[in-house]
Amino acid sequence: MPKKTIIPKKTPMPEQPPEERIHNYNEVPYGYTEEQAIAEAKRCLECAKPTCMQGCPVNINIPGFLKLVAEGDFRGAINLIKETNALPAITGRVCPQETQCEGVCALAKKYESVAIGRLERFVADWEAAQGPLPVPELPPPTGKKVAVVGSGPAGLTVAADLARMGHHVTIFEALHEAGGVLVYGIPEFRLPKAIVRREVEYVCSLGVKLVKDFVVGSAATLDELLEEFDAIFLGSGAGLPWFLGIPGENLGGIYSANEYLTRSNLMKAYRFPEYDTPIARGQRVITIGGGNVAMDAARTALRLGAKESIIVYRRSRAEMPARLEEIHHAEEEGVRFELLTTPVAFHGANGRVTEVECIRNELGEPDASGRRRPVPIKDSNFRIPADIVVIAVGQSPSPLIPKTTPDLKTGKDGVVIVDPNTMKTSKRGVFAGGDVATGGATVILAMGHAKIAAKAIDEYLRTGVW
């Protein structure tokens, strides 16, 4: 094969200018045109040993789909992706590609990697533009019934896979809208809700029943569900926000990111006055944390009218767990970063927060996460004025289901313990995956768990062997 000419840089993705987009909730990048997608796919070197695939948690045939895009065969490309990834319009937008496929792409050693995520998004959007998805031919019903708890990416994936195997699936969702963090956490400007709704509709078109406003552990326990269902998949996520445990944290105006983003996204506070959901609109909003959740909260604050949106993060930019694109977009939009800074107390007046007291850090030795540890600098305290504080420092699974299911074993921070090869829990007939089994992680890992669980559930239903 003749040697390929290397094109060092990614084909740029057109996007809304920052000064315009902070006044709306429309998606920031517009997506590639067909010509741009073909040009970008042609950058792939078609490596004999495609390292990109090793970086993909669900092992998408990346060079295969890139070749099809380069040839203009978008139908072939989407079909190939969907062999292993059911939600490419979502993962193409939210996966941390720089630490997965793109991070280990051969081109990335010297140049910019192939824009694998943008191309995944392109073919998924291309498919959506062709009209509703045809429902595949389903096998005859097996007569087995599975309950899925939660309709996030884990629950939706497991439900679709099991329905395609002929099992009868019912999803029980606590909220009034399905999609999990994809609808109540990740904002519209990063992941349009219409895309998630389309995926939910597709799962329902496979015959999956969706029961909303149903809190498992309260409306029915797992044991009660097991009287009606042959197996359960627990995909209830990690919705319990962590706080800092520092003085003043109970002052008014201090939110968990979970509450702040849910009010904005799911209760549509951003569409005021059409919706009158109460949400505090501070002039100065301080968000604490350095992950995707923090970026989403800080960027939402700007769109809700904050004059200043500041991120306080205890390590440096290099250690931030957020996707690079989100950090870049936040910076472009004017979010200010107070790095190497830890809050130590909140101060207030009349019951409301007015200042965040912080201390500066320097970086020490790496900790268990492999990232360099923040070490406080003595007497470096200073204060930042604040009307609203949003805390985005992590989350763990809600204790509700384990509390009402004594034989369901949990580990550190309340995660449900599973066998990683089958996603079986300690309780017969109950499988679990996604954030409930890991703590806050990623969409693609949740989907990867769901794929493993679907196979294991099918085997359990067919053989009865636990």
**Whole-angstrom Cα distance, residue 147 to residue 221?**
12
How many other CB atoms are found less than 10 A from the CB of residue 202? 17
Q: Are 154 and 236 spatial neighbours (Cβ–Cβ below 8 Å)?
A: no
Out of 80, 81, 115, 293, the only residue in the binding site for ligand FAD (CB under 6 A) is 293
Least distance to ligand SF4, CB of residue 345, Å? 48
Nearest to 389 by CA among 177, 210, 246: 246
51 near ligand SF4, judged by CB under 6 A: yes
416 near ligand FAD, judged by CB under 6 A: no
60 near ligand SF4, judged by CB under 6 A: no
Out of 13, 37, 38, 52, the only residue in the binding site for ligand SF4 (CB under 6 A) is 52
**Whole-angstrom Cα distance, residue 225 to residue 232?**
8
The one-letter amino acid code at 78 reads I
Nearest to 259 by CA among 232, 225, 293, 235: 293
114 near ligand SF4, judged by CB under 6 A: yes
Least distance to ligand FAD, CB of residue 3, Å? 36
Out of 446, 456, 457, 461, the only residue in the binding site for ligand FAD (CB under 6 A) is 446
Which of ligand FAD, ligand SF4, none binds 461 (CB below 5-8 Å, type-dependent)? Answer: none
**Whole-angstrom Cα distance, residue 454 to residue 163?**
10
* Two tokens, residue 86: 């059911």
81 near ligand SF4, judged by CB under 6 A: no
Which CB sits closer to ligand SF4, 91 or 262? Answer: 91
Contact region with ligand FAD (CB under 6 A), list: 36-44, 147-155, 158-166, 201-209: 147-155
Say whether 56 sits in a helix, a strand or coil. coil
Contact region with ligand FAD (CB under 6 A), list: 14-22, 40-48, 153-161, 405-413: 153-161
Contact region with ligand FAD (CB under 6 A), list: 98-106, 332-340, 376-384, 436-444: 436-444
324 near ligand SF4, judged by CB under 6 A: no
* Two tokens, residue 388: 């609203």
- Map the footprint of ligand FAD across residues 157-216, applying CB under 6 A: 172-175, 180-181, 185-186, 215-216
Contact region with ligand SF4 (CB under 6 A), list: 39-47, 73-81, 397-405, 418-426: 39-47
Least distance to ligand FAD, CB of residue 218, Å? 7
How many other CB atoms are found less than 10 A from the CB of residue 412? 8
**Whole-angstrom Cα distance, residue 150 to residue 355?**
38
**Whole-angstrom Cα distance, residue 52 to residue 109?**
12
Residue with tokens 């195997």: 165
Contact region with ligand SF4 (CB under 6 A), list: 19-27, 45-53, 303-311, 317-325: 45-53
Burial class (CB in 10 A: 0-12, 13-18, 19+), 327: buried
